[in-house]
Structure 1
Amino acid sequence: MAGAPAVSLPELRSLLALGRARLIDVRSREEAAAGTIPGALNIPVSELESALQMEPAAFQALYSTQKPKLEDENLIFFCQMGKRGLQATQLAQGLGYTGYGIVLLAGE
């Protein structure tokens, strides 16, 4: 997908093994319930903008995990085909998420 950095599956495996990636599945709750990457946080793309603008305590209460920081590296958005992942990546960048490695999971 043009317009977003991408990470390959081998790169993703390496980042995950090192604990240096945060995965956000931007598919619908139904799609994610059918199966997702272990450890991924599901925030449907339709909710992402409001989620990323929440106060940290509210985010923690709703998603049971710490809110990503603006400078977090390797914040990886993914979906089924890439369109929603790209949309999520662009949305996060527009909200000021500037950490190197806001990436879109490249399909393989």
Structure 2
Amino acid sequence: MAGAPTVSLPELRSLLASGRARLIDVRSREEAAAGTIPGALNIPVSELESALQMEPAAFQALYSAEKPKRDDENLIFFCQMGKRGLRATQLAQGLGYTGYGEASPAGGD
């Protein structure tokens, strides 16, 4: 997936073990409800652009989590196969987020 930083599985495991990763599951609510990585925040890719532009208090009220900051390191978007994770990463980049990446297996969904 050219143009987006990708986090390998060993890198992701290391970041998670050290508590330095902020994971955002960009799959649908139904997909995330069926199972996700523990601690991941679910924001469907269809909502991500508006979510990242919300005021922090509105984001907190809607997602029950602190809004990511533009300079947060290790903000990692993931989906099932990679296509939505790539799209989310590109959206974040376009909105000025600098410490992002995508964790995905090969393929597209």
Measure, in 2, the Cα distance between the counterparts of 1:59 and 1:40.
Answer: 15
CA 1:88/1:39 → structure 2, altered by over 3 Å: closer, same or farther?
same
Instruction: Give TM-score scaled by structure 1 length.
Output: 0.91
Q: How many residue pairs get matched?
A: 104
Q: Which has the higher contact order (CA 8 A, sep 6+)?
A: 1
Aligned CA distance change for structure 1 residues 100 and 39 (closer, same or farther; 3 Å): closer
Q: Shift of residue 2 of structure 1?
A: 1.3
Unaligned 5+ segments in structure 2 are 102-106
Say which SS state the counterpart of residue 4 (structure 1) adopts.
coil
TM-superposed deviation, 1:99:
2.6
Give runs of ≥4 in structure 1 deviating > 4 Å. none
Q: Distance in 1 between matches of 2:99 and 2:76?
A: 11
Whole-Å separation in 1 of the counterparts to 2:6 and 2:55: 28
Q: Give aligned-pair identity as a percent.
A: 91
| Residues 45/107 of structure 1: CA separation in 2 closer, same or farther (3 Å cut) | closer
Task: Structure 1: state its 5+ residue gaps.
Answer: none
Given the superposition, is the C-alpha separation of residues 107 and 49 from structure 1 closer, same or farther in structure 2, using an over 3 Å criterion? closer
Cα-Cα RMSD: 2.1
Partner of 2:104: none
Give the match's secondary structure for 1:7: coil
Q: What's the offset of the Cα at 1:98?
A: 1.4
